[in-house]
Amino acid sequence: YWLGCVKAAVQFVLIWLFPRMWRRGSKESYLHLIQIYERLFHFYYYLGNPLKAVYFTLQMLRVSLLKEAATCRRLSFSAMFGHALQVFGMGSLSSYVIRQSLEGINAQSDVSSQAKILLWGGVHKFLMGKTDESAVLFKQSLEFGRRIGDQRTVDEVSFNYGLQKFMLNQYECAKLWAQKIRTSTEKRSNWQGELWGLCLEIACEVRLEKLSRSSLLSLLSRLADHLRFSNRAIPSDTLLGKSVLALGWLKAGEREQAVGCCLTVRAMLRDYNPVSIHTSWALMTLSGVVRRLQEGEGEGESKRELQELQESIELVLKRSLRSFHILTMRREAVEKC
């Protein structure tokens, strides 16, 4: 009961009170409000709640219309809104919104906004299967991110670009991007970026089959420790980490470890709704691992649990496969263990 009251109070403050208070407020208070909404967008996006992600991008747009004189920030939020529509399954409207944002980029836009617009545009093109156009936008976003020293944006673009290469079976190239992310995140605190780099590198090593078993186990131990000792993990990160960990354990011949890793995410999938390319990739990877494990599993409790997990994965993946054309085309290659 009290938890419900607190939740209702927070929603009242964020949705109704803040915008009205700052309608006549200072520029600093406006920027503070925008930052809150932007964090909430990312929280719900990675949490797997597309409706809330769409809602908070709308809030950002609404508040920016009240206070923001420059169009560059609105264009950035519009691109974010377009991507939220994409993961919500509204592909045509998403394409229109993102196209308008990309066309609005001009010399007067600040570099930070340009980097974000190009990033969201690149992700959108990638999800629509337009990999060449996507690569061009990713490269431009990287250039802008490096110019202003926005390393978080650089890491995010690097991961999405590396994931694109992975989806296209260009594993050596994807591995190089993963190592760039890891090198970057080792110099500062970016838990999510380091997780992305580790996951992408391990997935590439499994496909390339060039790494020794001991080196692979070392990478897996590092990923397991990374997941175990962080209190900042959100469901999509945990799902991605556990899926790649299961893939690595299976490749290293540690069958029991792989089964245990798979079963730990079963409870997560009951109320989970992935809204990102990262989580969809994780689920397809997990699906391939579960199928391999089922092939060598005799009748028993774990066989039944793995079957239930596979059914849960299929249910959760349905919407993503409808929304993201690239996943439908590349699913078989991604699931290959």
Residue 308 has pLDDT above 60, yes or no: yes
As a three-state string, the secondary structure of 280-317 is HHHHHHHHHHHHHHHHCCCCCHHHHHHHHHHHHHHHHH
C-beta of residue 276 within 8 angstroms of C-beta of residue 45? yes
Q: At what angle do helices 277-295 and 301-323 cross, to 10 degrees?
A: 150
Taking phi first (over 0 means left), then psi (-120 to 50 degrees means alpha), and beta for anything else, what does residue 90 get?
beta
pLDDT at res. 321: 64
| Distance from C-alpha of 51 to C-alpha of 84, rounded to nearest angstrom | 9
pLDDT at res. 302: 76
Q: How many other CB atoms are there within 10 angstroms of residue 198's CB atom?
A: 25
User: Per-residue confidence at 162, pLDDT binned at 50, 70, 90?
Assistant: very high
Interval 135-155: pLDDT, tens: 999 999 999 889 888 888 899
The mean of the pLDDT values for the chain is 78
Q: At what angle do helices 151-167 and 325-335 cross, to 10 degrees?
A: 70
User: Per-residue confidence at 59, pLDDT binned at 50, 70, 90?
Assistant: confident
For the ranges 50-54, 98-102, 105-109, 169-173, the one whose mean pLDDT is highest:
169-173
**What count of residues does the chain have?**
337
C-beta of residue 97 within 8 angstroms of C-beta of residue 81? yes
User: Per-residue confidence at 327, pLDDT binned at 50, 70, 90?
Assistant: low
| Beta carbons within 8 Å of 50's beta carbon, 6+ residues apart | 44, 84, 87, 88, 273, 275
Residue 25 has pLDDT above 70, yes or no: no
Residue 65 has pLDDT above 70, yes or no: no
Write down the pTM of the prediction.
Answer: 0.78
C-alpha 180 chain-centroid distance: 18
pLDDT at res. 75: 73
| Distance from C-alpha of 219 to C-alpha of 199, rounded to nearest angstrom | 9
Tell me the CA distances in angstroms from 147 to 105, 150, 181, one per residue in order: 17, 8, 17
Rounded mean pLDDT, 306-332: 73
| Distance from C-alpha of 68 to C-alpha of 14, rounded to nearest angstrom | 19
CA nearest neighbour of 59 among 9, 19, 22: 19
Residue 331 has pLDDT above 70, yes or no: no
Residue 88 has pLDDT above 60, yes or no: yes
pLDDT at res. 129: 79
Report the amino acid identity of residue 287.
S
Residue 337 has pLDDT above 70, yes or no: no
Decide which of 57 and 69 is more confident: 57
pLDDT at res. 248: 94
Residue 290 has pLDDT above 80, yes or no: yes
C-beta of residue 321 within 8 angstroms of C-beta of residue 327? yes
C-beta of residue 158 within 8 angstroms of C-beta of residue 179? no
| Distance from C-alpha of 38 to C-alpha of 57, rounded to nearest angstrom | 7
Interval 231-270: pLDDT, tens: 556 777 888 899 999 999 999 999 889 988 888 888 777 6
Tell me the CA distances in angstroms from 185 to 139, 217, 242, one per residue in order: 20, 21, 20
| Distance from C-alpha of 112 to C-alpha of 79, rounded to nearest angstrom | 13
Interval 169-216: pLDDT, tens: 899 999 999 999 988 887 777 788 888 999 999 999 999 998 899 999
